Chains A and B, each alone.
Chain A
């Protein structure tokens, strides 16, 4: 029996699995975690890599988040778009980013995309696809620009242009038509924008705006949003209720006294 007083440890805890399985056998329906539906895409262009993503997160058929960020930071020169179960893409990229940073400190070298890819595929394979993370990984390292896709079961592909998610077919159609090797920056940005827009306007699981991340040897340009493809309408009527409209049974007010606050900066020691 686990002690009640335990400090939180890292890693997964399986203490509730038995209870949940029993509930499943009793015929209880389980809720849907937030999925990113999604259209994510990436291309290799002349100076580096461009990643693009839409910004809709769905919970079943309801749009849970109209402007979520699907391009995750892995390292200063490596970013990763995530499709699939949103919590999984969020945490998987964070865990691998942390591992990669430790690796970077250990090797003393700028991290390579192939390393990030290997870390991700080995992590995901261990969970046999139960962690639903479908990723587009891209960046520029000392060996040049690289672009990978990683599936939840751990398979990877290394390609010059990729798309993932429910809108991947729409995005890939745009790429197959418009991709050329060694494109210029502006043309490449437009192509990625069009690919993601193809997903947004044709796929139900993708929507809202288009985010873009341009990674070159010079640095990273994370443009969020690159294109606000869907703007909310302006409300014409005013639905403010007059004060006192709501019937209240009981009111309790707790005031605090805001005492003065001084901030004293301390010079850090030179290391």
Chain B
């Protein structure tokens, strides 16, 4: 068996636009070569302005998303407000680093808007929680190198939500087309300050 990250196959990407963020992921769940389902959820909603997607082993992604939701609920009950995306990033990073020697095989991608100022925020981290915040895009996936290439070429600053949707969709779809273990559908969430648009894309199912 090869890399544990490639066992289930996944691709997640997030991009910053003008007063909005978008996060997209493929929908395949596989057991190495065999595809099990094509509607697997990889992006989880943490609150109505904060989404996190996971790349890596699906079981760890589900475990970590549940743990995070639990910690986030406690936070929101204690603080009586929505969490800031940067604080959430630190929460995820802490959770992953606490398992530095027995790690979860996932890389999270965080996308959200600040609850008060609506500033867009994206971040990703490696499997032990090293945070990487950028102002343009973040990628994670079995096809991360293809995603880097697509995003570097297609992204430009200050894209309107509809244009951001087109850019992120094309980046994801073309990247997963060059990867055998990811693809089979895609879902894109565009988060703006007063609405969230979820679109399921029509893509190659091979």
Residues of A at the B interface (CB closer than 8 Å) are 5, 7-8, 10-20, 23, 26-31, 33-34, 57, 59, 62, 64-65, 67-68, 85-88, 90-91, 130-131, 235, 239-243, 245-258, 261
Q: Determine the distance from Cα of A5 to Cα of B70 in the docked complex, in whole angstroms.
A: 9
Q: Is the interface of B mostly helix, strand, loop or mixed?
A: mixed
| B196 interface residue per 8 A CB criterion | yes
Given A8-B95, A64-B126, A253-B196, A29:B3 Cβ within 8 A: yes
Contact B4–A59 (Cβ < 8 Å):
no
Nearest 6 A/B pairs, CB to CB: A17-B102, A16-B102, A87-B130, A247-B202, A86-B130, A34-B126
Q: Is the interface of A mostly helix, strand, loop or mixed?
A: loop
Contact status A90-B197, CB under 8 Å? no
B residues 180-206 touching A (CB-CB < 8 Å): 193-203
Residue of B nearest to A61 (CB): B145
Considering the chains assembled together, what is the distance between the CA atoms of A12 and B96 in angstroms?
Answer: 10
* A86–B102 touching, CB < 8 Å: no
A29 to B6, CA, bound (A): 10
Number of residues of chain B lying within 8 A (CB) of chain A: 58
Contact A62-B126, Cβ < 8 Å, known A57-B132, A91-B97, A258-B193? no
Instruction: State which residues 156-182 of B face A: CB under 8 Å.
Output: 156, 159, 162-163, 165-167, 169-170, 173
Instruction: Report the number of A-B residue pairs with Cβ-Cβ less than 8 Å.
Output: 151
Q: Which residues of A contact B134 (CB under 8 A)?
A: 65, 67
What residue of chain B has the Cβ atom nearest to residue A130's Cβ? B101
B80 within 8 A of A: no
8 extra interface residue pairs, beta carbon distance < 8 Å, beyond A8-B94, A246-B201: A14-B99, A20-B102, A20-B103, A33-B126, A33-B127, A33-B130, A87-B126, A254-B198
Q: How far does the Cβ of B17 sit from chain A's closest Cβ, in whole Å?
A: 12
B34 adjacent to chain A (CB < 8 Å): no
In chain B, positions 69-88 with a C-beta closer than 8 Å to chain A are 70-71, 74
Q: Let me know if B130 and A62 touch, CB within 8 A.
A: no
In the complex, what distance in Å separates the CA atom of A86 from the CA atom of B93?
12
13 contacts between A and B (CB under 8 A): A16-B102, A17-B102, A28-B1, A31-B4, A87-B129, A87-B130, A88-B100, A239-B153, A240-B166, A243-B163, A248-B200, A254-B198, A258-B194
Most chain B beta-carbon neighbours within 10 Å: one of A14, A62, A235, A254: A254
Contact B199 A248 (CB under 8 A): yes
Set of chain A residues within 8 Å of B154, measured between Cβ atoms: 239, 241
Alpha-carbon separation in the docked complex, A242 to B125 (Å)? 32
